[in-house]
C-alpha cells in the first residue's frame, strides 16, 4: 500500500531533524531513519496518518522526550539505552545491573 506524501511542513521537519543529527555525528543513513520515524510519529499524534500505534498517540511527544532523555536532561538516558551501550561495549554482568550501575559501567 503506497504511503501518502508528507506535507511541506513535514518535509521541512524531516530535513531539519536529519541535518541536526548529521551535525552531531550520526551517519546519513541513520539520520534519515531517525528523522523519518520522528516525522511519522508526529503525523500519527496529529491525526495525519491512517494508522497509529498506541505508543505513538499516548506517549509524550518526540521533542519533549528527546529533551528529557538527553545526556543533559534531569533523568538522563533510560536504562534500556544504557544497557544497549553496555552491550555494544561488551560489559559483562550488565543484565543484573540497575540504571545507576549501568551509568557507572559505561563511563558517563
Task: State the Cα–Cα distance between residues 58 and 83, nearest whole angstrom.
Answer: 25
Q: What is the pLDDT of residue 2?
A: 39
Phi, psi of 83 (to 5 degrees): -60, -45
Give the C-alpha separation, 61 to 18, whole Å: 18
Q: Is the pLDDT at 42 greater than 70, yes or no?
A: yes
Asked if pLDDT for residue 33 goes beyond 50, the answer is: yes
Statement: residue 106 has pLDDT above 50? yes
Amino acid at each position: 500500500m503506497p504511503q501518502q506524501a508528507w506535507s511541506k511542513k513535514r518535509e521541512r521537519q524531516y530535513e531539519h531533524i536529519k541535518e541536526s543529527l548529521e551535525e552531531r555525528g550520526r551517519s546519513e543513513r541513520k539520520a534519515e531513519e531517525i528523522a523519518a520515524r520522528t516525522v511519522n510519529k508526529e503525523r500519527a499524534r496529529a491525526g495525519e496518518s491512517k494508522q497509529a500505534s498506541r505508543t505513538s498517540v499516548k506517549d509524550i511527544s518526540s521533542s519533549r522526550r528527546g529533551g528529557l532523555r538527553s545526556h543533559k536532561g534531569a533523568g538522563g538516558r533510560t536504562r534500556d539505552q544504557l544497557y544497549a551501550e553496555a552491550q555494544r561495549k561488551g560489559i559483562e554482568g550488565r543484565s543484573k545491573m540497575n540504571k545507576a550501575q549501568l551509568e557507572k559501567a559505561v563511563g558517563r
